[in-house]
Structure 1
Amino acid sequence: MIDGTVVYYQGSPGAFSEAAILSHWPNAIPQGFPTFAETFQALQDNPNAVGLLPIENAYRGPVYDVLDLLTASTLSIWAEAVQPVELALMAYGHSDLSRIKKVRSHPQALMQSQMFCREHGLIVEVALDTAGSAKELLESRREDVGAIASPRAAEIYGLNIVRRGIQDHPDNRTRFWLLSQRPIHLTSPLNRMKTSAVFDLPDKPGALVNYLLWYKKFGLNLSKVESRPRPGAPFAYRFWIDVVGDAKSLDQAWESGLSDLEWFRRFGTYPVLSE
């Protein structure tokens, strides 16, 4: 269903999103956009478009821009994919760490390599994406600035790798959601299904606990519960959940708890392709 399909992502060639696309669908055609907002707009403008967007890093947490844009969209989740993330420091024209004073990358990559940056006294500067920072470094030809991106990005843009594996955690990885307005039918090689949803509850004691008990009743595992600010209601919150379990039990729990909710969006029940 995906091989041979154009798949949108945020970033430039060499981005981890592009790597996630190609590692799961080698014959897909990745197409990058500069920002998350532009990627979502392209997915909204084309009812048949497909995109792969990062949703959470294993150690640095959610990508909130994507969560908020997804909530405001009409897109559904059709699969989850997990991609290992190896970060490399790269430079233009040399591989001498002592010559680098500042590094540029996407905020998530900077968070994921902050121990290395602090240890070496590097000034960090935010860029739109990891591979984009490598591309910009090639264009600027500055030798006192480094980029943090994938080793493949260094190869694509002709940069020298100064240090590989600079991520804080060796088993660093990011999970992605496959998004589209149209149905995409995939199966999980792990035999694992998830449901993701966002909802508002009444502001009263026990509202969240009572709602979540529906999932316990049907033998489901809440793998993630998170609160986010509720738009238009200062210091009020809406809740995100990821639930693991078979589709029938997920549907039963969801339908049973609907009357507890003031507002909701269910993004789909989808297969987990990797972990």
Structure 2
Amino acid sequence: MNALEHHAPIAVVSHLRQLRSRLLRCLLAIVLLFIGLFPFAQTLYTAISAPLRAFLPAGASMIATSVTSPLMAPFKLTLMLALFVAMPLILHQVWGMVAPVVYRRERRIAIALLVASVTLFYAGMAFAFFLVFPMMFGFFASVTPEGVEMMTDIALYLDFILALFLAFGLAFQIPVATFLVVWAGMIDVQTLSKSRAYVIVGCFVVGMILTPPDVFSQTMLAVPMWLLFEVGLVASRMVSRRGTACNADFNREADTA
């Protein structure tokens, strides 16, 4: 047995131990955040349901159609909130596993993309909560047939908004995804720019898949996705030009030498 074969099992065990350690840190962070937030679970649910309750008729309220809903809905909300808040730490632990195999020049770009990804995910959630939800629930309330009262179940409402939070958070990753495919050389900026019409159609298709089956929600997701694609396209152009300039300088120095 040569030295490489001898050290291979040791390296695997070391990586597995590191993976276990990082997973435990992530789990511990989520548990601690959950414990800290759970005493405020009812208050958190009241806050998260405010966009809908603002459009309920006078005297109307949300309902619980299951015996366990008054407990489980705030419990689920607190757990998901703990996961969302812990996301930067989770991604930091993932980066800790990946960083050793990333070149130093690429680390700066990777860190910037990681920070941008987390920021955009939170921005997508904030966009949904502060802009989309009030407009969407106001629209739903305005088209409610006469004689019908909005009496939304608290568990169904939570599932609905969590799905939208995830959809908008993922949709806001488009600039990062656009930059990555250009940076990795999978496609060039000119091709992406010429494919704009297909991208717009794709945005509406994704909006149709990720949002509830109404045109309003689909449009509110598809339009920001298209605009974010344009942002990613601009960033990709800037990086592409900078890379071209760097290559030109390198070739000039090589010719001079």
State whether TM-score is above 0.5.
no
TM-score (normalizing by structure 1): 0.23
Q: Which has the higher helix share?
A: 2
Q: Which has the higher strand share?
A: 1
Q: Which has the larger Rg? A: 2
